[in-house]
Amino acid sequence: MAQWIPVAGIACLSALLAGCPSPDYPTCKASPVSYAGGKCSAYYYQTDYGSGGVTTQAMTDCLVDSQRLGGNVVAFHTVEHGIGLRWLDANTLEVAVPDGITLESQRTKAIYLGYPLTYKYRSLQPGEPEFSGCSPRRSKGST
């Protein structure tokens, strides 16, 4: 059965996981990674909702048959570490997550309008750039 989620739905998935971020919350987004000839990119973001509510979440963003689709890959509730993302080929995303963290909504595959994606997990090691995360900050317009 094909699964697909419009990009507008990504915000809803994020909201279900940790609430809906507003400009008041410190947030950051890592640069997206893509594979030449692939239909998808991937990125992670981090948000600190205050009162101990924090989220680090990896997402995909795909363009398949002129439709923009995407969804959650994995999430966890700390901003101490980021998520390493690297495309091994046009359909396989390597996802590096830190050891000892409880993973939420961990997916191993997705299908967007017949375009299959596989997620292969490995341990994110100290010294890798993503290990420290992207350091959530408040937007310039918030107080």
Which tokens belong to 125?
Answer: 């090691």
Query: Is residue 142 included in any domain, yes or no?
Result: no
On whether residue 137 sits in a domain, the answer given is: no
- For the four alpha carbons of 80, 86, 90 and 92, in that order, the dihedral sign comes to negative
Q: Does 85 map to a domain?
A: yes
pTM assigned to the model: 0.81
Q: What is the pLDDT of residues 34-65, one digit of tens each?
A: 999 999 999 999 999 887 789 999 999 999 99
Task: Show Cβ contacts of residue 27 under 8 Å, excluding neighbours closer than 6 positions.
Answer: 21, 45, 46, 47, 48, 136, 137, 139
The answer to whether position 138 is within a domain reads: no
Tell me: pLDDT of 90 over 80: yes
Question: What is the extent of the structural domain holding 119?
Answer: 7-132
- pLDDT for residue 54: 93
Q: Is residue 87 part of a domain?
A: yes
Domain presence at residue 140: no
Judge whether 60 and 52 are in contact, CB under 8 Å: no
Q: How many DSSP H helices and E strands does the chain contain? A: 1, 9
Biggest alpha carbon–alpha carbon distance for the chain = 46
In a domain, 139, yes or no: no
Distance CA 67, CA 128 (A): 34
For the chain, give the percent of residues with pLDDT over 90: 73
Give the total number of structural domains in the chain: 1
DSSP 8-class letter at 137: B
Q: Is residue 2 part of a domain?
A: no
Q: How far apart are CA 139 and CA 130, in angstroms?
A: 21
